Amino acid sequence: ETEALYCIGCGAKLQTTDPKAPGYLPAGTMAKAQADPDGELYCQRCFRLRHYNDIQGVSLTDDDFLRLLTALGQSDALIVNVVDIFDFDGSVIPGLHRFVGDNPVILVGNKADVLPKSVNQRRLTQWLSHAAHEQGLRPVATLLTSAKKGHVEDLLATIEEYREGRDVYVVGVTNTGKSTLINQIIRHLTGEQDVITTSRFPGTTLDRIEIPLADGKSLIDTPGIIHHHQMAHYINKADLNLVAPTKPIRPTVYQLNPGQTIFLAGLARFDFLAGQRSGFTVYADNQLLLHRTKLENADAFYAKHVGDLLQPPRPADLADFPPLARFEFTPKQKSDLVFAGLGWIVVPAGQTVAGYAPTGVAVTLRPALI
């Protein structure tokens, strides 16, 4: 008889018979693992999360966190996933859909107040839902909130609509405003603060906050997950306001010829490579420095001025600041070139442009929101 083996990710007893049950591992992998007693043993679910994260470069390596996610999949609950609409790529939880199992997910795009009034909310919601689908997530509902403004009534109504007597788990990466949202929910549900109970996730060292609901069930806040590929991790705390705007962002329009570059401080760069002279609208925090220059001089200009004229990053943070990575696009339709967590530039159809961000931070294209 062989000794029972346990997944070092979630602690489940490894088994080769039921792919849907905890601790599943294909028989071949199990055999290999048994032959190598020093090998690290993960169930398929935890292995995939780790593997997927390697590709994504997201560090969710904390075993506690894997256990937590696994617990979510094993419970009968409604999941509320909070993301930052200003930084979808930096706030999505890779592989979440594999962990939630059959549990329904409500996707909440927070910080709606940061967007200019001219943004079509319905289009934004559709885009968010589409972006979630691309990650394999199939939310039963997608909605926008502003935790800061305390607008959580729609969210609470949606939760009640889908809860069907179950517990509610709120999950999200740090900086999405999850704590702010939870505080608003507490205020709305109870009008007082001292209803919060904290307990531990079974088998982990992670604390959770439980807010009792009327029917004896709970709304449970899970610890924020750190997503390393957020712009916020690359800049000084004192400059965080630039990547977490608190006021609606105001657009700045540049009339550009091909061969011109715009720097968004030292954090990002936009090149207009080919096309016709046209207007490009920049949406970023109103305090963020924008600097226009010639493309042919842009590399040298950046090398010389990053950390001084082009700030942030601050001089003290330069050593740890990643080099900018470049992405080229020629959108077929009017599109937003998105610098995850920083803002976006509206690119007219048919123009060839390049966007740069610190290596690891996403630069993506989406249909224009405005």
Which residues contact ligand GDP by CB under 6 A?
A: 110-111, 113-114, 146-148, 172, 174-180, 224, 244, 246
| DSSP secondary structure letters along 246-279 | SS---EEEEEE-TTEEEEETTTEEEEEEES--EE
Residues in the chain, how many?
Answer: 370
Angle at 189 between CA 187 and CA 190, to 5 degrees: 70
Q: How far apart are CA 83 and CA 120, in angstroms?
A: 18
Between residues 44 and 91, which has the closer beta carbon with respect to ligand GDP?
91
CA distance to 25, 43, 60, 99, per residue, from 21 (Å): 10, 10, 22, 12
- Shortest CB 86 distance to ligand GDP, Å: 8
Sign of CA dihedral 317, 323, 324, 325: negative
State the helix-helix crossing angle for 63-74 and 44-56, rounded to 10 degrees. 120
Query: Phi first, then psi: what are they for 263, rounded to 5°?
Result: -95, 135
Number of other CB atoms surrounding residue 119 within 10 Å? 18
The answer to whether the CB of 82 falls within 8 A of the CB of 181 is yes
Structure token digits, residue 173: 């990466």
Between residues 20 and 237, which has the closer beta carbon with respect to ligand GDP?
237
Between residues 238 and 303, which has the closer beta carbon with respect to ligand GDP?
238
Return the amino acid letter for 294: K
Between residues 176 and 261, which has the closer beta carbon with respect to ligand GDP?
176
- Shortest CB 288 distance to ligand GDP, Å: 15
Between residues 176 and 260, which has the closer beta carbon with respect to ligand GDP?
176
Number of other CB atoms surrounding residue 198 within 10 Å? 9
Between residues 85 and 298, which has the closer beta carbon with respect to ligand GDP?
85
Parallel, antiparallel, or unpaired: how do β-strands 207-212 and 218-221 relate?
A: antiparallel
- Shortest CB 66 distance to ligand GDP, Å: 20
Sign of CA dihedral 129, 135, 140, 145: negative
Between residues 46 and 232, which has the closer beta carbon with respect to ligand GDP?
232
In the complex, residue closest to ligand GDP by CB: 177
The answer to whether the CB of 249 falls within 8 A of the CB of 316 is no
Between residues 9 and 172, which has the closer beta carbon with respect to ligand GDP?
172
